[in-house]
Amino acid sequence: MRRSTWQRMMKSHIAVTAATSIVLCVLVVPGRTAQGQRQSSAGQNEHLRQFLRGYVGSADEDARTTRYTAAFVDLRDDKSSEVIVYVSGPRWCGTGGCTMLILAPAGSSYHVVTKTTVTRLPIRVLDAKSNGWHDISVVGGNPLYEAKLSFDGTTYPTNPSVPPASRIRGAAKGRTLIGENSKDSPLYESELPVQE
pLDDT at res. 177: 96
Q: Structural domain tally of the chain? A: 1
Query: For the chain, how many residues are written?
Result: 196
Taking the mean position of all CA atoms in its chain, how far away is CA 102?
11
DSSP 157: -
The residue segments making up the domain with residue 3 are 1-196
Distance between CA atoms of residues 139 and 24, nearest Å? 47
- Is the CB of residue 116 less than 8 Å from the CB of residue 102? yes
Distance between CA atoms of residues 186 and 177, nearest Å? 19
Q: What angle do CA 82, 163, 56 make, to 5 degrees?
A: 40
Beta-carbon contacts of residue 10 (< 8 Å; ≥ 6 apart): none
- How far is the CA of 44 from the CAs of 49, 56, 85, 106, 188, in angstroms? 9, 18, 13, 12, 17
In the chain, % helix, strand, coil (3-state, to 5) comes to 30, 35, 35
Beta-carbon contacts of residue 125 (< 8 Å; ≥ 6 apart): 73, 75, 84, 134, 135, 136, 174, 175, 177
Q: How many CA atoms, within 13 angstroms, populate the side-chain half-sphere of residue 193? A: 22
The pLDDT tens digits along the chain (196 residues) read 555 544 444 444 444 334 333 333 333 333 322 332 333 466 778 889 999 999 988 767 777 889 999 999 999 999 999 999 999 999 999 999 999 999 999 988 999 999 999 999 999 999 999 999 999 999 998 899 999 999 999 999 999 999 999 999 988 899 999 999 999 999 987 444 455 5
Distance between CA atoms of residues 10 and 4, nearest Å? 10
3-state secondary structure of 111: strand
